[in-house]
Amino acid sequence: MTLDAVAAARAWAAQDPDEVTRAQLEALLARVDAGDPDARAELETRFAGRLTFGTAGLRGELGAGPLRMNRVLVGQAAAGLARYLLAREAHPSVVIGYDGRRNSEIFARDTAELMAGAGVRAILLPRLLPTPVLAFAVRHLGTSAGVMVTASHNPAPDNGYKVYLGGLDHGSQIVPPADAEIEAAIVAVAAGSIAELPRSDGYELAGEEVVDEYVRRTAAIAGAAQPLRVVYTAMHGVGWDTARRVFAEAGFPDVVSVPEQQEPDPAFPTVDFPNPEEPGAMDLAFAAATASGAELVIANDPDADRVAVGVPDGAGGWRRLSGNEVGWLLGWRAVRQGAERDLDRGTLACSLVSSPALGVVARKEGLDFAETLTGFKWISRVGDLVYGYEEALGYLVDPEKVRDKDGISAAVAVLALFSELKATGLTFAEHEAAFADRYGAFASGQISIRVTHLDRIGELMARLRAAPPREVGGIRVERIDDFAGGFAPFPPSDILRLWLAGGSRVIVRPSGTEPKLKCYLDTRSDEGTPAERQATADAALASLEAGMRELLAG
């Protein structure tokens, strides 16, 4: 720990308006002064850099220092964003939303006061609300930018800060070069003290009209509705109040909410991680569905920008559909809806780590297809977009309304799909078989290796590059695409894509939001009956998973 780092910590504490984090830092500094080596190491982890915009904004654990989420960092971010907006236009505006995590409302009000103090018209949403409502508000209110305070599905100790741009960016999240320009403005602000920044309580409070319009437009996605027995969980987040209104207006008034997970609770007491993808996260919802004789389970993540779907497994239990299964089925529905409206053009889009299935659908139906880098900030910017998704439970079913993933809109689309099947007398299994018959059968899986030290991720990626595998799980590797030097049309990225015999594919990349190395596995089959095709794809997936686990453990 250098004297400069200690001085930086003292300067940070001096400007911190939060009694909790200020006391935390002062206690650490006192231990450093007393010669405590553990305190010195801890201080280093907080001041060795600063949080930067990743796949979905700033995210980190709550605590003092520039590598944590706190009021100083948020104040610097707000003031830096204000400088960026004022340099772009004479009279910029921003709408600000927040979820139910610890300090979310405090961070949002700090942002509103600092924006207003800097001369930016600031509009604060009326209460804690889902991220999709904020993304909608940017377009609906025509603001220059939007800020959402959320860490989405991250662990309970975390919070985050997402930035959207209006105007020519149409309400999408920031991408280069805007993110770097905003970060440069934040660094310039950080050279001084946030205590010296002007603040104002002259910000506006948005009316309920914004929420009402989001509800009205989202409910319209459903069309005619057949009664369904549905269980819903908000995963201790902010989804239920808005989703309940949307479901009722869409013709599904009797959705049953899981009471233990219905109200916002930043401790997320019933789950290890508040992410529907995590094992056990949907167990309470499945139990409620069994008890109530439900036909379908819907789960939002804590800020309701993602959705997970559970269906009966045919043996008295439940299975969660993968993000890819929901993704390609909603894509197929979007194509059919377009055909009903005589729309013969448009683009389907997904992230490059999502299943190849959507591309097959697009090509067979004569539509354009776009593959993007991971993150909805890229998917939402695809031209002539009809529908987009990413395998991590993110879906964009109504691009005219929202330019970000929207777990409530997607939930309505899922309810509508099951309602349509019920009206025509088809089972979900028959619908899946029809997809496999028309487009082929696909299977997808994921391996996530959580690390304690981020250096471990770099070591694993370097090892794969230095000694690329010739086969995985007995399946021959035919070629490897390394995105490190750029791989058209993508910019340089820390991604490896392995193409294997039989159409299988493996993609390896570091997570953009969590300390994980992620490995995406995809297989397909076009031979035989739908059941035979699925069995072949599933068997190939099992081989790939076993092979990759062995490879990464070696």
Q: Answer whether 228's CB lies under 8 Å from 296's CB.
A: yes
Q: Answer whether 143's CB lies under 8 Å from 95's CB.
A: yes
For residue 298, what are its two tokens? Answer: 């819907």
Give the bridge partners for 481, in sequence order. 497
In DSSP notation, 183-221 reads: HHHHHHHHTS-GGGS---S--EE--THHHHHHHHHHHTT
Half-sphere exposure of 389 (CA within 13 A, CB side): 32
DSSP E strand stretches across 474-528: 475-482, 496-500, 505-510, 516-525
- AA identity, residue 101: R
Helix (H) or strand (E) holding 256: strand 256-257
For residue 312, what are its two tokens? Answer: 């009966």
Please give the distance of CA 400 from its chain centroid, rounded to a whole number: 19
Please give the distance of CA 38 from its chain centroid, rounded to a whole number: 35
Q: CA-CA distance, 150 to 68, in Å (whole number)?
A: 14
What torsion do the CA atoms of 69, 71, 74, 80 make, to the nearest 10 degrees? -140
Residue 349 CB coordination number (10 Å): 29
What torsion do the CA atoms of 47, 53, 58, 64 make, to the nearest 10 degrees? 10
Contacts of 370 (CB under 8 A, 6+ apart): 347, 348, 349, 382
Q: Which residues are catalytic?
A: 152
Q: Is the dihedral of CA 383, 389, 390, 394 positive or negative?
A: positive
451-464 core/surface letters (b: 16 or more CB in 10 A; e: else)? beeeeebeebbeeb
For residue 501, what are its two tokens? Answer: 């015999």
Q: Answer whether 216's CB lies under 8 Å from 265's CB.
A: no
Please give the distance of CA 284 from its chain centroid, rounded to a whole number: 22
Helix (H) or strand (E) holding 449: strand 441-450
8-state DSSP, 490: B
In DSSP notation, 336-377 reads: HHHHHTT----EEEEETTS-THHHHHHHHTT-EEEEE-SSHH
